[in-house]
Amino acid sequence: MSGTMRVSIQNNFPEVGQRLRLLGRQAPFVAAVSLTRSVKDGQAAIKDTTKRAFDHATSYTLNSTFLKPATKTRLEARVWIKDQAFGKGTPADRYLLPEIDGGPRGQKGMERLLQRSGLLKSGWYAVPSAGAQLDGNGNVKRSQITQILSQLKLQRSAGFESRASGSTRSNRTIARQGVTYFALASKHRGLEPGIYLKRRFAHGSAVRPVFIFVPSVLYRPRLPFYAVGEGTIRTRFPVHFDAEWTKAVTTARLRR
């Protein structure tokens, strides 16, 4: 699985095998604890690096890794990117793996809705533009996305009474908000494919792009997930192993 870092005694630290054999029954416990603590250090280092790599990274992104500890019967610990969404969020692996490996990012929920409606070509992306309202983390505000999807009638429960149904009530609600959103599946009158907002004034109106539709979004790797994780683990493992080895040897002597 891309985005997975596996660490085991056999593959990463074969030189400790002799010392473990001397411990007898305590060896699996020493190995498992040493591996787990080392990988946990690697996970913390990845989090610190993520904080530096992305301006205003959300807590969702900073806590996007998952640790599977080693056990006495499975001497392997793993840290990787979560592939399950929390709440209504996008699974972290969809947007972080391109930042780790490079290449196209995964599609977001709004993009899938736009594609199903025929407004966005298959495989294309919606990129924020001048009319997008950004939050403190640099992401388009969920309230604006919800309002857009509601007016475009792309979801059933939008949380806004701005559904462009054509009714008098709907028209009054949109008028009160002062903004009308519309989408162009293809270029029209000089406007590129995308989602636009139209704001009316006393003596006219203005149109601004909120999202522009593009055929590809390619990322260059900027999160050194593997280098940071593996480097930290290799540095920290001898420290944890020596500490656990000493405890085990001392305990064995006391039992004699």
Tokens 């908000």, residue located: 177
Structure confidence at residue 162 as a pLDDT band (50, 70, 90)? very low
Closest to 151 measured CA to CA, from 124, 178, 170: 170
111 and 200 in one domain? Answer: yes
175 and 140 in one domain? Answer: yes
114 and 201 in one domain? Answer: yes
98 and 80 in one domain? Answer: yes
Structure confidence at residue 164 as a pLDDT band (50, 70, 90)? very low
208, 148 Cβ separation under 8 angstroms: no
pLDDT of residue 173: 56
206 and 123 in one domain? Answer: yes
Closest to 108 measured CA to CA, from 136, 88, 86: 88
234 and 209 in one domain? Answer: no
The fraction of the chain above a pLDDT of 70, given in percent, is 84
Please give the structure tokens belonging to residue 45.
Answer: 């280092």
Relative to beta strand 4-8, strand 76-81 is antiparallel
221, 200 Cβ separation under 8 angstroms: no
211 and 112 in one domain? Answer: yes
30, 23 Cβ separation under 8 angstroms: yes
* Mean pLDDT to the nearest integer, 167-193: 77
Cα–Cα distance measured from residue 78 to residue 68, given in angstroms and rounded to the nearest whole number: 5
Using the predicted structure, report yes or no on whether residue 169 has a pLDDT greater than 70.
no
212 and 224 in one domain? Answer: no
Total tally of structural domains belonging to the chain: 2
78 and 66 in one domain? Answer: yes
248 and 189 in one domain? Answer: no
Per DSSP, what are the bridge partners of residue 66? Answer: 80
228 and 192 in one domain? Answer: no
223 and 210 in one domain? Answer: no
Structure confidence at residue 85 as a pLDDT band (50, 70, 90)? confident
152, 180 Cβ separation under 8 angstroms: no
The CA–CA distances, whole Å, from 138 to 134, 167, 212 equal 5, 35, 17
Residue 151 belongs to domain spanning: 107-216
